[in-house]
Structure 1
Amino acid sequence: MRSFLEPSGFISGFPLADPIIGLVITIAIFWIVWDSAKTIFTRLLDGVDPEIPKEIFHAAHHVSDLRKVTGVKVRWLGHRLHAEVNITVDASLSVEQGHAIAIEVRHELLHHLRYLSDATIHVDPLTASGPEYHHIEEHSHDGLPTHSH
Structure 2
Amino acid sequence: MSEDVRPEEHHDHVHGHTHPTGLKGWLHEDFVPHSHDVTDSIDDALEASNEGVRAVKVSLVVLGITAAAQLGIVAISGSVALLADTIHNFSDALTAVPLWIAFVLGRRAATTRYTHGYGRAEDLAGLFIVAMIALSAVVAGVESIRRLADPQPLDNLGWVMAAGVVGFAGNEAVAVYRMRVGRRIGSAALVADGVHARTDGFTSLAVVLGVVGVWAGFPIADPLVGLLITAAILILLWGTARDVGRRLLDGIDPDLTHRARRALESEPGIVGVEDVRLRWTGHRLAVQARLLLPAGTTVAGADRTAAAAEHAVRRALPAVGTVDLTVTAAANAPITGR
Q: TM-score, normalised by structure 2?
A: 0.33
What secondary structure does 1:48 align onto? Answer: coil
Is the deviation greater in 81-90 or in 11-20?
Answer: 11-20
Q: Quick check: which has more Rg, 1 or 2?
A: 1
Matched, 1:128 2:327: no
What secondary structure does 1:93 align onto? Answer: coil
Structure having the larger proportion of residues in helix: 2
> Given the alignment, which residue of 229, 232, 237 partners 1:28?
232
Matched, 1:110 2:311: no
Q: Please list every run of 5 or more consecutive structure 1 residues that lacks an aligned counterpart in the other structure.
A: 130-149
C-alpha RMSD of the superposition: 2.9
Match of 2:255 in 1: 51
Percent of aligned positions with the same letter in both sequences? Answer: 30
> Given the alignment, which residue of 90, 94, 99 partners 2:303?
99
**Are residues 17 and 96 of structure 1, via their aligned partners in 2, closer, same or farther at CA, if it must alter by over 3 Å?**
same
In the alignment of these two chains, the number of paired residues is 127
Could you tell me which amino acid in structure 1 is paired with residue 256 of structure 2? Answer: I
CA contact (8 A) 1:8 1:15 kept: no
**Are residues 107 and 21 of structure 1, via their aligned partners in 2, closer, same or farther at CA, if it must alter by over 3 Å?**
same
Q: Report the alpha carbon displacement of residue 76 of structure 1 after superposing the two structures with TM.
A: 2.7
Cα distance in 2, alignment partners of residues 27 and 70 from structure 1: 45
CA contact (8 A) 2:286 2:320 kept: yes
Matched, 1:70 2:291: no
> Given the alignment, which residue of 284, 299, 313 partners 1:80?
284
CA contact (8 A) 1:61 1:68 kept: yes
Cα distance in 2, alignment partners of residues 8 and 78 from structure 1: 43
Cα distance in 1, alignment partners of residues 272 and 289 from structure 2: 11
Q: TM-score, normalised by structure 1?
A: 0.69
Could you tell me which amino acid in structure 2 is paired with residue 47 of structure 1? Answer: G
**Larger relative contact order (Cα-Cα within 8 Å, sequence gap ≥ 6):** 2
**Are residues 52 and 11 of structure 1, via their aligned partners in 2, closer, same or farther at CA, if it must alter by over 3 Å?**
farther
Structure having the larger proportion of residues in strand: 1
What secondary structure does 2:285 align onto? Answer: strand
Q: Report the alpha carbon displacement of residue 101 of structure 1 after superposing the two structures with TM.
A: 0.8
Q: Please list every run of 5 or more consecutive structure 2 residues that lacks an aligned counterpart in the other structure.
A: 1-207, 334-338
